[in-house]
Amino acid sequence: MKKKLYIFIVIILSFLIFAMYKIFVENKTIVEKDTILAMDTQISWVIYEKPSLYPLDLNAKIKTRINELVKLLSVTDENSEIYKVNHHQERDIKLSEDTKNVVLFALQMAEKTNGALEPTIYPVLREWGFTTGKYQIPDETKIRDLLNYVDYRKVSLKENQIYLPEGMQIDLGAVAKGYIGDEIIKILKANNISSALINLGGNVQLLGTKQNGDLWNIGLKSPNSQDYIGILRLADCAIVTSGNYERYFIGEDNKRYWHILDGKTGKPADKHINSVTIVTKQGKLGDALSTALFVMGVDEAINYWKQNKDENNAFEMILITDDKKIYITENLVDSFTLQDKYKDYHMVVVTL
């Protein structure tokens, strides 16, 4: 009798231990990390989810989608669709749906920003060596000649058919990473993920909050050093920064030349801005505006912000200038903390 009672108690205890373990494991949040090199950028993601809900093939799905888009959008990959558009003898080419969507968005943003975002700048960008690594300062005559092939208004896109005049080439680098980030977010949402952080170089995209409900802490890089000038506390948005400290070279004249070119001059945009950070819902919009507003300069960027407050185009921004001023739109003030060592920077709140 005692033996049967003992066995019964052991079975009950085993069941309770198993049940408690199962409850613990199913409610425990796991951290899933992965990374891939694409478009000269280390793309990484951190996903938080319960083990029982985490799809086993999720990382593979993300990598597959990234590789699909790179094969379409890369300007240097000889097998990409954009490369073929730029080098095909026939200037009238049918695009895939993804490439069409990105080209259309880039052209729309070029129109909205009056060419501050210029997707046909590629011939000039290449001449400076920013796509090849063979940096040089082009002479004025060469720049003037190449600017004859820079004008987004000459690109014709009808449904999936694109036409480029001879000599013109397009570069989607100012929107491609943002589009890729948006596509990763779509995959995560489709797989019921509610908390994730995606890092695409100068682009960060957040899905939801941290797993415990807290806001994410995102460092804003200092234009003049390797540390952070401040911290943004945000959730469920895209944070995109473009700056003159990212890709640049020092010329023989000891001046710094950066990769963000003004489509009207063919030279690095120099409106005394060191960096532009955009906070918005769409990565591709943040990508486009971080470049465009850098080209515009402070006054024009502020006017653009004031004129684009509808739901589809709304964004917030931080502009850091070379005279140690930080222009920050009013809705970001409570989300931003300036690091103590940068207290000599003057904060200017931008209001409507």
Annotated binding site for Mg(2+): 174, 287, 291
Q: At what angle do helices 283-296 and 298-307 cross, to 10 degrees?
A: 140
Euclidean distance between CA atoms 297 and 214, whole angstroms: 34
Residue positions counted in the chain: 352
Q: How many CA atoms lie within 13 A of 317 on its CB side?
A: 35
257 contacts 238 by C-beta, under 8 angstroms: no
Closest among 277, 281, 271 to 219, alpha carbons compared? 277
Q: Which residues are annotated as a binding site?
A: 174, 287, 291
The answer to whether 272 touches 322, Cβ cutoff 8 Å, is yes
Sequence-ordered alpha helix ranges (H) in the chain: 2-27, 58-73, 81-87, 97-112, 122-128, 140-147, 173-190, 283-296, 298-307
